[in-house]
Amino acid sequence: MKFIIKKLSILIVTVFIASIFGFIFEHLIPGNPAVAILGPQATPHNVAVLTTKLGLNKSPVQQYFTWIKNFFTGHFGYAYSSGDSVKTLIAQSYTETLELIVGSQVLAFLIAIPISVRAAVKPNKIFDKFTSVISFGFYSFPAFVVAPILILIFAVKLGIVPASGYVGPSQSIGQNIKDMALPCITLALGSFAVYSQILRSELVNLLKEDFALFAKSKGISKYKIVFKHCFRLSSLSLVTISGLQISTLITGAFVIEYIFQLPGLGTLIINAINSKDYLVIQAVSVLVVMAVATINTLVDISYAFLDPRIRREN
Amino acid sequence: MKTDITTKKHRTKVKLGIFFWLCTFWIVAVILVAVLAPFLPLDSPNKTFECQPFLAPNTSHIFGCDDLGRDMFSRVIYGSRVSMFVGIVSILIGMLIGGTLGMISGFLGKKLDTFLNTAANIIISFPTLIFLLAVVAVFKHSLIVITLSIAFISIPLLFRVIRSATIAVSNKDFIQAAIVLGSSKFRILFVEILPNILSLGIIYGCLGIGSAIIAEGTLAFLGLSVSLPTPSWGNMIAEGAQSYLRRDFLITLWPSIFIIVTVVCFNFISQRLEHQFNSSDNKV
């Protein structure tokens, strides 16, 4: 219980700091926020009206509370370049980011599990060494290097999938899968490297435990021991790791969206930076920080529930 | 164990391996070339139509030429200046601040330690790219701003590593002895503890430089690092990958090779040194 309270209080502090940063960010923007919202052709009268409406003439503390209230009720303001509500823009793009992240994780597990099981059953043999070199490599390769190589091979040379573009799953599922294939693979490679290394070392250690040796002495094959006995134990830590990876995944997804021109949150924020659309940048970044902090806390707490050792350590 | 005895006997002869030295050679070479670039007999990296656009590699332009007829070799070399500067300087700053705070916090403990550690954990939970994007959105994306913001991100990470190492060393007998003997805190920190955690600092420093280079490369790829036409590995990859992948993939390939090899070298050196220091630690 003490552990949960500690984690929750850290979460609250993080969200609070993120909100302060978001608030300060709005005030760091060169020029008057009212002018930024209304655009350069705004009349002085309109600016004055909006200044009062936004409460810019009130004290900073009052302004902060107004900002918080607006932010948590979903009033993120309007995009300067297009005039759309920031809320609508985010609602349109987050599903695509989510699809990319979920797809890549499914893919990463599908590749990492069989490979690490095979490597762990025969540790330090050729297959193990080969896969560990490969995953070390993938771990070092940034997305913006991997993606052009994949595009060159699969889109330009082989022409199996398109190099960029996006069709929503509601329009055409087949085309959607084709469009998402390369982005998902690119994002999956980094996660694959992490998962396969962790799962491999965990399985190697578990196979040395008494219960595994006992099962082995009864003549059960190593693969059967892994899948029947070890897997439940190590899947726990795998889930935790994937939860803690969320920050890396979101930022990775942002870069990949930009490369493949997918209409997700990443493209939204990067375009916003280029067009100096500060309210979009502010809303997306504060929301992402809050989401990451919340997910991390939930993972920590659920892990403590499942593994009593963690609770005692703290 | 048997192997321990043999390694102990030939302690000075423990080999780091050929790859370690190849990586070190590569890093030293890239740093030297980056520093000396203006004095080397290279074509100007920004002079257009130095040669035929999309010229294939040949003897006078060994990496070929890009879409504007600029010499790729000299662009890659000049690009290394940005990457290496950001990588090394940001981690040095991060190590100086994060490392010092980590040592003080780990050694003194108590409330200061709890406070700094919680603060570090909170900063770490912020996604790095979001922070960098927010910074470049507000400030100009200049070399200094990017270096400082990457340094800022590295502070809590390096702080954590150095702090836990300091705590481990502080509990050893010789530190306790020094405290009993009445050595000043300053002396204990910098004469007794520092030499013992320096190796860890180097290991994580190398790892950090690799990550910092990737962070700068990512920003440059997104068009948010040094402004064009100044070459940086990231913006060269972006230029090649967005427009000329079909036409001439070499424009993308050269900077990709340089960034990958450099980052892998830093990671490998770090991994190898960690192995080395760990095995010598166990022997003592």
Q: Which residues on chain B are in Cβ contact (under 8 Å) with A254?
A: 129
- Taking any CB pair shorter than 8 Å as contact, residues of chain B touching chain A are 118, 121-122, 125-130, 133-134, 136-138, 210, 214, 217-218, 221-224, 234, 237-238, 240-241, 245-246, 249, 252, 256, 259-260, 263-264, 267
* Residues contacting residue A154 through CB under 8 Å, at least 6 positions apart: A160, A161, A181, A182
Tell me the mean pLDDT in the region B33-42.
Answer: 80
**Residues present in chain B in total:** 284
pLDDT, tens digit (0-9, with 9 covering 90-100), for A133-185 = 888 778 778 888 888 888 888 887 787 777 777 777 777 777 777 778 888 98
Tell me the mean pLDDT in the region A84-111.
Answer: 85
Under 8 Å between Cβ of A47 and A34 = yes
**CA proximity to A54, closest of A38, A30, A74:** A38
The CATH code belonging to domain B84-279 is: 1.10.3720.10
Placement of tokens 């700091």 in the chain? A17
pLDDT for res A153:
85
Placement of tokens 């990588």 in the chain? B87
- In this predicted structure, the answer to whether residue B280 has a pLDDT above a threshold of 50 is yes
Report the residue from A151, A273, A296 with minimal CB separation from B133: A273
Secondary structure string (H, E, C) spanning A290-314: HHHHHHHHHHHHHHHHHCHHHHHHC
Average per-residue pLDDT for chain A: 79
Looking at the DSSP assignment, which residues form a beta bridge with residue A85? A78
Same structural domain, A224 and A311 = no
pLDDT, tens digit (0-9, with 9 covering 90-100), for B184-193 = 888 888 888 8
Record the pTM: 0.83
Tell me the mean pLDDT in the region B19-43.
Answer: 86
pLDDT for res B169:
84
Same structural domain, A248 and A131 = yes
Nearest CA in chain B to A284: B130
pLDDT for res B284:
41
Task: Provide the residue type at B264 as one letter.
Answer: V
Q: Which residues on chain B are in Cβ contact (under 8 Å) with A163?
A: 245
pLDDT for res B7:
47
Nearest CA in chain B to A11: B122
Average per-residue pLDDT for chain B: 82
pLDDT for res A99:
86
Same structural domain, A199 and A99 = yes
Give the A:B interface size as CB pairs under 8 Å.
Answer: 106
- DSSP structure class, residue B56: P
Same structural domain, A134 and A270 = yes
Q: How far apart are CA B146 and CA B226, in angstroms?
A: 9
- A92, two tokens: 């349109």
User: Do A251 and B128 make contact, defined as CB atoms within 8 angstroms?
Assistant: yes
Same structural domain, A153 and A9 = no
Percent of chain B with pLDDT over 70: 90
* Residues contacting residue A208 through CB under 8 Å, at least 6 positions apart: none
Same structural domain, A250 and A182 = yes
Under 8 Å between Cβ of A97 and A268 = no
Report the residue from B122, B138, B240 with minimal CB separation from A29: B138
CA distance B254 to chain A (A): 11
pLDDT for res B26:
92
User: Do B249 and A152 make contact, defined as CB atoms within 8 angstroms?
Assistant: yes
User: Do B137 and A156 make contact, defined as CB atoms within 8 angstroms?
Assistant: no
Report the residue from A28, A142, A151 with minimal CB separation from B218: A142
Per-residue pLDDT band at B91 (split at 50, 70, 90): very high
Q: How far apart are CA A199 and CA A231, in angstroms?
A: 9
Tell me the mean pLDDT in the region B111-120.
Answer: 86
Per-residue pLDDT band at B9 (split at 50, 70, 90): very low
User: Do A289 and B136 make contact, defined as CB atoms within 8 angstroms?
Assistant: no
Tell me the mean pLDDT in the region B160-169.
Answer: 88
Tell me the mean pLDDT in the region B110-138.
Answer: 83
Q: Structural domain tally of chain A?
A: 2
User: Do B129 and A281 make contact, defined as CB atoms within 8 angstroms?
Assistant: no
User: Do A251 and B129 make contact, defined as CB atoms within 8 angstroms?
Assistant: yes
User: Do B127 and A258 make contact, defined as CB atoms within 8 angstroms?
Assistant: no
Residue A153 CA, chain-centre distance (Å), reads: 26
Q: By residue range, what is the domain housing residue A300? A: 1-81+276-314
pLDDT, tens digit (0-9, with 9 covering 90-100), for A102-127 = 899 889 888 888 888 888 888 778 88
Same structural domain, A118 and A162 = yes
Same structural domain, A162 and A217 = yes
Under 8 Å between Cβ of B42 and B79 = no
- In this predicted structure, the answer to whether residue A314 has a pLDDT above a threshold of 50 is no
Q: Which residues on chain B are in Cβ contact (under 8 Å) with A278?
A: 137
Backbone angles phi, psi at B65, to 5 degrees: -130, 155
pLDDT, tens digit (0-9, with 9 covering 90-100), for B209-255 = 998 999 888 888 888 877 777 888 888 888 877 777 777 777 788 88
Nearest CA in chain A to B219: A255
Backbone angles phi, psi at A78, to 5 degrees: -120, 145
Q: What are the contacts of A269-276 at 24+ separation with CB within 8 A? A: A269/B133, A270/B133, A270/B222, A270/B224, A272/A79, A272/A81, A272/B137, A273/B133, A273/B136, A273/B137, A273/B224, A274/B223, A275/A80, A275/A81, A276/A80, A276/B137
Q: Which range is most confident: A24-33, A271-280, A299-308?
A: A271-280
User: Do B122 and A255 make contact, defined as CB atoms within 8 angstroms?
Assistant: no
Lowest mean pLDDT across A9-23, A127-141, B3-17, B108-122: B3-17
Q: How far apart are CA B194 and CA B201, in angstroms?
A: 10
